[in-house]
Homo-oligomer: A and B are copies of this chain.
Amino acid sequence: MSVISENTEADMRHRILVVAERLFRQIGYQKTTVADIAKVLQMSPANVYRFFDSKKAIHSGVARHLMGEVEQAAASIAAESGPAGDRLRKLLSTVHRMNRERYVGDEKLHEMVAIAMEENWDVCVLHMQQIVGAITQIVTQGAASGEFDVPDVAVAAGCTCTAMMRFFHPQMIAQTINKDGPTIDQMIDFILRSLGARTVAAVS
């Protein structure tokens, strides 16, 4: 395949995903058909199937795109300089904010996420691995500089992400919004204490 046709293929896949995401947001995932997507692109459904072999594959692509933006934000915070504790707080707060903005209050996108969790779990696993990866990067740096004190970096990063479930998981954000419970900053303080963060420990 030449470079030009490869680019064309990537471009077509991208165009299909952009249209699919728009339709999923407007009329919902369940109600959107491959024929609807094809119609907007002025092509045949058969042509769409040349690029994605099922509606589920299109769903994966759209979900990857939405989650990918959150992953990029997390990765870029992990790559910043400055104290590990500050960056970890910024990362955890940013993931919460982006997920809340994406999936809560937007019923159509919320439907898409619920379907990803039921039928396209691999996409969610990949996303969580990326987020845990960014957390691991910061915890590793914090442990190396002596800012954190953790017995096992991988376990600490996994527990940090799991402890944030109420603030990360779209269904949990939706279910707990305006409900009693710790604030996100209290939760992050609690996590930083577990990581032995010097600045938080000094407060006690």
Residues of A within 8 A of B (CB): 117, 125, 128, 149-151, 155-156, 158-160, 162-163, 165-166, 169, 171-172, 175, 179-182, 186-187, 190-191, 193-194, 196, 203-204
| Contact between B204 and A149, CB atoms less than 8 A apart | yes
What's the number of copies of this chain in the assembled complex?
2
Q: List, in ascending order, chain B residues with CB within 8 A of A181's CB.
A: 158, 162
Indicate the member of A156, A175, A182, A196 with the most B CB atoms within 10 Å: A182
Q: Is the interface of A mostly helix, strand, loop or mixed?
A: helix
Q: Chain B nearest CB: distance from A170 CB in Å?
A: 12
Q: Nearest 4 CB-CB pairs, A to B?
A: A194-B194, A159-B190, A163-B163, A193-B194
Closest residue of B by beta carbon distance from A188? B159
Q: List, in ascending order, chain B residues with CB within 8 A of A169's CB.
A: 172
- Given the interface contacts A151-B203, A151-B204, does A162 sit within 8 Å of B191 by beta carbon? no
Q: List, in ascending order, chain B residues with CB within 8 A of A187's CB.
A: 159, 162-163
Closest residue of B by beta carbon distance from A175? B117
| Contact between B204 and A186, CB atoms less than 8 A apart | no
| Contact between B163 and A162, CB atoms less than 8 A apart | yes
Partner of A182, one of B149, B162, B196: B162
Q: Chain B nearest CB: distance from A193 CB in Å?
A: 4
Closest residue of B by beta carbon distance from A187? B159
Q: List, in ascending order, chain B residues with CB within 8 A of A163's CB.
A: 159, 162-163, 187, 190-191
